[in-house]
């Protein structure tokens, strides 16, 4: 099985790690579209075009069988169109883990950290409204402009990052939020800082494992046997913090530059 995975930067590598842990007998191609990052502050039309261009590249260059949109923002802007244009592909998108958060919360107060584009998107709004109406919960939604850039720059422990998160998380801490949805695949990289600021036990939810399970289930429906090795090839459309990649993956991979 040949799988293309993309995100605006490093965040999608959290999804790659989850796929590597679960799926065998596959070749994985990952594109960090850093030339156009961050997606969260681009228009839906721009994000859709980036997504189509990357999908076309994967199909033409690597003949992929499956596409993983490892980005909440790109999923919101592009998944419907991509499924219509490429019906032959398995396509797995990303959405904030609100449903498991509602199932796990004890206080009924749930935090959602996401990019501005994700929170404004129709897909998120519909998901949040549908699920929140099924159970008595309060969602504390917080857009996090600039956080992706801090993570991409490898400045997770930087005082500026701490100040940004402190301002965003203060209302959640004061309102007994016990479960926080990390609505961007970059945000798990800041999990330790988030826990430190919350000052108490808090459940942080992201979607890498769920994406990997969904991909495996759909692949098996098409005859994938899930045995053998998995190989990963990394690409970036612009500059990338190699130290952050090494820290995330636990080894120092080769990163190929590609123009799309």
Q: Which residues are catalytic?
A: 71, 184
Q: 176's torsion region: left (phi>0), alpha (psi -120 to 50) or beta?
A: left
Cα dihedral sign, 242-244-245-246? positive
* 22, 68 contact by CB (below 8 A): no
User: ω into residue 146 within 30 of 0, thus cis?
Assistant: no
Q: How many CA atoms are closer than 13 Å to the CA of 26, on its beta-carbon side?
A: 29
Q: How many CA atoms are closer than 13 Å to the CA of 231, on its beta-carbon side?
A: 5
Nearest 5°: the CA angle 129, 94, 97 is 50
Which residues have C-beta within 8 Å of that of residue 206, sequence separation ≥ 6? 14, 97, 181, 182, 185, 187, 188
H runs (alpha helix) in 63-143: 72-85, 98-104, 116-120, 122-132
């Amino acid at each position: 099985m040949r799988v293309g995975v993309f995100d605006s930067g490093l965040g999608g590598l959290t999804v790659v790690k989850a796929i590597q842990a679960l799926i065998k007998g596959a070749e994985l191609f990952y594109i960090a579209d850093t030339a156009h990052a961050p997606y969260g502050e681009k228009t839906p039309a721009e994000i859709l075009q980036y997504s189509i261009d990357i999908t076309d590249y994967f199909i033409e260059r690597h003949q992929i069988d499956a596409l993983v949109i490892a980005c909440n923002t790109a999923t919101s802007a592009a998944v419907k169109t991509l499924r219509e244009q490429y019906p032959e592909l398995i396509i797995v998108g990303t959405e904030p883990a609100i449903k498991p958060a509602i199932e796990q919360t004890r206080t009924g107060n749930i935090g959602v950290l996401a990019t501005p584009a994700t929170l404004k998107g129709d897909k998120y709004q519909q998901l949040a409204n549908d699920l929140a109406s099924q159970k008595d919960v309060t969602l504390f939604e917080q857009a996090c402009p600039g956080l992706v850039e801090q993570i991409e720059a490898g400045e997770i422990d930087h005082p500026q990052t701490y100040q940004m998160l402190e301002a965003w998380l203060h209302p959640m801490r004061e309102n007994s939020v016990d479960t926080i949805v990390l609505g961007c695949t970059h945000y798990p990289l800041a999990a330790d800082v988030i826990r430190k600021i919350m000052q108490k036990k808090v459940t942080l939810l992201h979607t890498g494992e769920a994406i990997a399970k969904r991909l495996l289930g759909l692949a098996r429906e098409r005859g994938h046997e899930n045995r053998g090795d998995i190989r990963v090839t990394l690409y970036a459309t612009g500059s990338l913090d190699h130290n952050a990649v090494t820290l995330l993956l636990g080894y120092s991979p080769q990163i190929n530059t590609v123009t799309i």
